[in-house]
Amino acid sequence: MAERVIAACDGASKGNPGPAAWAWVVADGDEKPVRWEAGALGTATNNVAELTALERLLSTVDANVPLEVRMDSQYAMKAVTTWLPGWKRKGWKTAAGKPVANQELVQRIDALLEGRAVEFKYVPAHQVDGDPLNDFADRAASQAAVVQQDAGSALGSPEPPPSAPSAAKPPRARKSAPAKRAASSGSSSRTIKAKFPGRCRCGRTYAAGVDIAKNPDGWGHPECRTTDA
């Protein structure tokens, strides 16, 4: 059997719905990006972008090769690993009896998964020292969504630019008593202007230019900031 391929995929929508794009990246034996592709979707939701990214990745990788897929979208992952069997039994209806959202995309992914060895691995998004392949796919999808242009290694495109958390680091807070109280209150925490669009730990996106604050697991809305216990 061929050696397992490790890959990641991600989608982005600037507005949800808004300008959207998908991206996937395949790693070499050292888990370094070796092949990638990103594509513009016009106006679409984040869920559509996430599912499209998975569909394009599965269409690209040889079906006879075992595949590990790293994703930060719990919706897309659960759609094809947890909810899909029940949807099929119910005639593509949800537990509430409503039509399954994005049914055509889910059905295409279902067909692409038939008879192949695929392991899905959830990786949290926008983490300090997080999964580098997921970060690469996130940056590629985000850039393609903003510029609405396809990109990829086959096109000779440069690597997508750094995301906001790695591009800008706020000054370190002073270790004085007032500074500690400010950090614990959350609402008075230090903020900076986001250089790039991103996604908060709460799941909502934020636009470039808005105030964001450092959370224990990344960057996001100031009101979503929590302190370590």
Just list the catalytic residues.
10-11, 50, 72, 126, 138
Is 23 within 8 Å of 33 (Cβ atoms)? Answer: no
Instruction: Report d(CA 218, CA 164) in Å as an integer.
Output: 10
Instruction: Report d(CA 25, CA 28) in Å as an integer.
Output: 10
Token couple for 156? 């000779």
Instruction: Report d(CA 139, CA 164) in Å as an integer.
Output: 10
From the list 66, 63, 50, 51, the residue with the least C-alpha distance to 114 is 63
- The residue type of 45 is T
